[in-house]
């Protein structure tokens, strides 16, 4: 999965930027809603994007080591 996302991010750079931006925007909006509404349900917006971000980080490391831009 790491290798396939690394290839995807290399081939479709704009889509990769959109995905990363959407994940970061989800985290920011969840923090704002959590602080303003004080509802625990908004913690999901902080927890759920962590797993894709870990995959993206590992794919970035793989791309840097093994793939040429």
Q: Please state the domain extents for the chain.
A: 2-66
pLDDT of residue 68: 74
Q: What pLDDT is stored for residue 69 in this prediction?
A: 59
Q: Label residues 3-21 b or e (16+ Cβ within 10 Å = b).
A: eebbeebeeeeeebeebbe
Which residue in this structure is represented by tokens 């925007």? Answer: 25
In this prediction, residue 17 carries a pLDDT of: 97
- Render pLDDT for 5-58 as a digit per residue (tens, 0 to 9): 999 999 999 999 999 999 999 999 999 999 999 899 999 989 999 999 999 999
pLDDT at 29: 94
- Average pLDDT of the residues in 64-69: 83
What are the structure tokens assigned to 60, written together?
């970035």
Tokens standing for residue 31: 């923090």
């Amino acid at each position: 999965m790491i290798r396939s996302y690394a290839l995807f991010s290399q081939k479709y750079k704009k889509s990769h930027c959109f995905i990363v931006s959407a994940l970061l925007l989800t985290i920011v909006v969840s923090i704002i809603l959590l602080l303003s509404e004080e509802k625990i349900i908004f913690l999901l917006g902080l927890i759920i994007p962590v797993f894709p971000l870990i995959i993206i980080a590992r794919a970035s490391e793989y791309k840097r080591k093994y793939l040429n831009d």
